[in-house]
Structure 1
């Protein structure tokens, strides 16, 4: 039976054969924040299709000692369709990384060896937030994962592959959210 404990935002998730139980925990844990916006606030236009469309700057803290690499997934669960729209896949970020700068180049390999995957827009790197005009604000989830290994995936991998690999190597995760609504 596969059993692992994953601290998540002040709670501990105990995965036991496909089921999860949530328990209170005093673990400060992994955090991701941005100097450009506060948790749950609006994403500045600079990081959207109404602006430069570059990736937002991020700050990382509380990385567990057993972490070998970090991964980031940015998605929009409010996008039309059955699944959230994946805006960014970044993995094999060195475990000692404390800052991800704004405007990460859309190269296969960036940030000291990190790999970038193909977003749901079909391109490498960050795909700017761009909900349809007239939509209510969309929520954007920036999920940071601490992993117990470097992922054996080629640049350009898609979300399904990256997600499976993350699940197998997960130590801890945390999520930062922001919202965005396009100007009329």
Structure 2
């Protein structure tokens, strides 16, 4: 059975998430790989539900051979009037008020795709969650998994885009 990272998430209306850097279900750009620059892809979302006051963004690989997947990026408190992030956006260049959590490598930034050689194709879920509050109150040092738990009470919509990456043996 393929790991479905959405199976326990609340059912909420979908909205649109797209990237100029890759197509849905297509390969991530080389620049979004750890061996190609660790640059986040450009992301644009539209159609968020009425009442959206902020967004949370995560990038997650459920196929990582860790038993718990691999969080590549987690940003929350993105203002509700923001609808895009440019490619390679740094933590310092995020919209005012946005907060980045540490990823699995301990950095507060996007970490590119790096599936182990010969491990097969990995899926990278870029998810933008629309929230009905302006700010989440998340403790310092929290993980992306805590973010996922904390947004449950306030999520009113979700947009998702999946990219793929593989490293030959």
TM-score (norm 1): 0.80
* Partner of residue 89 from structure 1, selected from 64, 74, 92: 74
Residue 69 in 1 paired to residue 75 in 2?
no
Aligned to 1:38: 23
Change (3 A) 1:123 1:135: same
The residue correspondences of 1:1-184 to structure 2 (distance < 5 A) are 6-8=12-14, 30-107=15-92, 110-149=94-133, 150-154=135-139, 156-182=141-167
Q: Count the aligned residue pairs.
A: 159
1:153 positional shift? 2.2
Backbone CA RMSD of aligned residues: 1.8
Q: Which runs of 5+ in 1 are unaligned?
A: 9-29
Q: Which has the higher contact order (CA 8 A, sep 6+)?
A: 2
In 1, distance between residues paired with 2:79 and 2:51? 13
The structure 1 segments of at least 4 consecutive aligned residues displaced by more than 6 Å after TM superposition are: none
Greater share of strand: 1
More displaced, 147-156 or 45-54?
A: 147-156
In 1, distance between residues paired with 2:144 and 2:109? 12
Q: Deviations over 1:17-55 (max 9, x none)?
A: xxxxxxxxxxxxx11110111100000111111211111
Aligned to 2:3: none
Q: Which runs of 5+ in 2 are unaligned?
A: 1-9
Aligned to 1:14: none
Whichever of the two has the greater Rg, that structure is 1
- Answer whether contact 2:103 2:109 (CA < 8 A) is retained: yes
Q: Deviations over 1:53-104 (max 9, x none)?
A: 1111101100112011001111001101221211100111111112111112
In 1, distance between residues paired with 2:12 and 2:167? 36
TM-score (norm 2): 0.87
